[in-house]
Amino acid sequence: MRLCSAAAAFLLASAPSAVAQETVDIGLIRDSDITVVQKLLYPKEARTEIGFHVGVMPFDAYLTTPNAQLSFVRHFSERGAFSVLLGGGYGLKTRVSTQLESPAFGVAPFSYRYLGSALAGVEWSPIYAKLNLNGAKVVHFDVYFPLRGGLTVEQSVIPGGGLAFAPTVSPGIGGRFFLGERSALKVELRDDLLLEYRSLTDSLEFKQNADVTLGLVFLSGKGS
């Protein structure tokens, strides 16, 4: 019995030291050394995307502008893409404009309505994520930032004001919500920054057209 007790005491005393000898000190781990492994169910690299979008420019006090867009995107990596956007629409007078033009006020707002635009540039997609919808469905989506440039055509609301052809820079933010391997819903908010010459006043004017769009896009097969 004494021999067994001595053996048990020896094992208990030596166990912590044995565990300590197996511990390896690797030092501090930097954030850059940690990577998140995530399955990319819907890759975009080397694929072509074509879509149709409808939108509205709701932030003009004098005009509400429904519009439609055609898009072409070529993804050369998961994060980078070349983007082309062709759009058309028409500015409808708001209630504010109608009231100002009524006999009570007799003032016509000096504004220009959107007719169309052609923009091209790049898209940067730094975020790919998943959204759990009440435990019933997982939605894959990405977040992207477009930066495009091109030309916008507008028309004076006042008769005889003519057309304005405005060089345009268009930053924005958007997201793709994948419906499957070949299609996605695309939501985008962009702000077209225009510099347009207005013949009615013989002046160069700066204007913003903020546009909210929703579209359905189709992607080609992988690597095509």
The kind and range of the H/E element at 101 are helix 95-101
The DSSP line for 21-55 is HH--------GGG-------SS--TTEEEEEEEEE
**Antiparallel, parallel or unpaired: β 63-75 and 112-133:** unpaired
In the chain, where are the structural domains located? Answer: 2-219
Q: Which of 49, 68, 56, 53 is nearest to 125 (CA)?
A: 49
- Distance CA(219)–CA(75), nearest Å, equals 10
For residue 107, what are its two tokens?
A: 């003032």
- The residues, ordered by sequence, that sit 6+ positions from 96 with a Cβ below 8 Å of its Cβ are 61, 62, 109
Tell me what pLDDT residue 6 has. 52
| Angle formed at CA 163 by CA 158 and CA 165, multiple of 5 degrees | 140
- The residues, ordered by sequence, that sit 6+ positions from 46 with a Cβ below 8 Å of its Cβ are 75, 76, 222, 223, 224
- Distance CA(167)–CA(171), nearest Å, equals 14
Can you give the pTM of this predicted structure? 0.79
Q: Which of 138, 135, 129, 202 is nearest to 164 (CA)?
A: 202
CATH number of the structural domain 2-219: 2.40.160.20
User: pLDDT tens per residue, the chain (224 residues)?
Assistant: 554 555 555 545 555 544 445 555 666 666 565 555 456 889 999 999 999 999 999 999 899 999 999 999 999 999 999 999 999 999 999 888 888 877 766 677 788 999 999 999 999 999 999 988 877 788 999 999 999 999 999 999 988 889 999 999 999 999 999 999 999 999 999 999 999 998 888 889 999 999 999 999 999 987 66
Helix, coil or strand: residue 14: helix
Tell me what pLDDT residue 110 has. 80
Tell me what pLDDT residue 19 has. 47
Tell me what pLDDT residue 159 has. 85
Q: Which of 189, 181, 179, 191 is nearest to 216 (CA)?
A: 179
Q: Which amino acid is at 93?
A: K
- Distance CA(13)–CA(2), nearest Å, equals 16
- Distance CA(53)–CA(187), nearest Å, equals 9
Tell me what pLDDT residue 29 has. 61
